[in-house]
Structure 1
Amino acid sequence: MKGHLLAASELMQLKDYPAAEPHIGHPAEELYGDLEPTLIQKGVPPFKQQLNTLLDLIQSAPTSPQTEAAFKEAHEGIDKALEAIPEQERLDSRFVVAVIRQLLDTAGSEYAASITNGRFAETVEYQDSRGFVRYADQLYQKIAPELQARDPELNAKVKNALEGLLPVWPDPMPPAQPLKTPAQVQALIQSI
């Protein structure tokens, strides 16, 4: 969800609200339903309405201050859901590396889906994958010192993979041609 909203935020900053819309819609439409039983079990306050309100506002009043407030509320709902994971686990570098790996696996799949005949054909998938890689990097930055102390070899693998991956998505809009093939992207991900 954070990766999708990260992609949407970049597009909103570019004032490309129609392009931001699917990324705002994905958390509510594609992800929330799968998470809802666990959220209820963990006692997490529901936040689907915040996600839906944000989607409605990006469609009807994208430049409204209400949209900015709704964006913040959607992030807060996701953050509260993340707090259902015990803090010790959330801050454990091994757990975070597993999350990073999952994000990167998803990014690799989305990246591959964005390319047809050596060209970007699906912009939304390119942007999704960019958001996932950028969020994975944000997570890594939070644990890098602890991971370096705990497992320097794994730290080097994650750092090198992210340094190789981040430039593949230079901008929110795809470049004229892919900078790396899906196989090259997958190889970087598999190096972790």
Structure 2
Amino acid sequence: MAARELIQAGDVAEGRPHLTHPWVEVYPMVKAGLAHRDQKALGEQLHTLAEKAGQVDSWDEISADFQAAWVGIEQAVNTTEGLSASSVSKVILSLTKQAVLEYDEALDGDQFVAEHEYQDGRGFVAAARDYLAEHEAHLVKQNKEAWRDTGKALNELAKAWPTPVPPQKPVVSTSNLYAAQARLELALAPYLY
């Protein structure tokens, strides 16, 4: 998501490395599960994105490959069994915890020193928000108040990433971001326990 946002905004050089992350950073963790579910095509799609990343000059050049990988990811997610409110909550927490870690790694004091880490965090939060929206009906049915509180907590957390490229100074301190992550986990507690 960070790659798409940056490349479409004209920050091609900033966006290219993010096309490699699903293949290099995420695929090794899910490879066995994908193989177990006979989802071998996704690995090839992610590998294609990574290999073409350095040659991309515009979104049009990569959009078809990106869309193929996106659809592959959706198909892989849909093969999981027993999607529950608890499992949805765990995915959201995994995404946002990683986002907070990326944000923390991007900072040295009150200066962003690793823009790509900030951008990764922004992408993880965007994915968490999308995932929450995709599962709204299921979560609302189980506990409408918890769903509303989760949305508020996630929106509060997202304030740390106001723009695709880091601002001059962080708008949310790292300690406040960890606190926002804790509030999100509390909001999701009714689904988890």
Q: In structure 1, how many angstroms separate the alpha carbons of the residues matched to 2:56 and 2:123?
A: 23
Q: In structure 1, how many angstroms separate the alpha carbons of the residues matched to 2:162 and 2:67?
A: 25
Q: In structure 1, how many angstroms separate the alpha carbons of the residues matched to 2:41 and 2:76?
A: 9
Which runs of no fewer than 5 residues in structure 2 stay unpaired?
A: 186-193
Question: What is the TM-score normalised by the length of structure 2?
Answer: 0.87
Q: In structure 1, how many angstroms separate the alpha carbons of the residues matched to 2:24 and 2:151?
A: 32
CA contact (8 A) 1:21 1:59 kept: yes
The size of the alignment, in residue pairs, is: 184
2:119 alignment partner in structure 1: 127
Letter matched to residue 136 of structure 2:
A
> Deviations 1:19-52 (Å, cap 9, x if unpaired)?
1122111111112122111111111133222222
Compute the displacement of 1:7 (Å). Answer: 0.7
Which runs of no fewer than 5 residues in structure 1 stay unpaired?
A: 1-5
SS across alignment from 1:15: coil
2:41 counterpart (39, 43, 46): 46
1:58 counterpart (53, 58, 72): 53
Question: What is the TM-score normalised by the length of structure 1?
Answer: 0.87
1:158 alignment partner in structure 2: 150
> Deviations 1:95-130 (Å, cap 9, x if unpaired)?
211110111111111111111011111101100110
Deviates more, 1:119-128 or 1:57-66: 57-66
Q: In structure 2, how many angstroms separate the alpha carbons of the residues matched to 1:69 and 1:132?
A: 22
CA contact (8 A) 2:159 2:172 kept: no
2:32 alignment partner in structure 1: 37
Detail structure 1 runs of 4+ shifted over 4 Å in the superposition: none
Percent sequence identity is 28
Compute the displacement of 1:161 (Å). Answer: 1.2
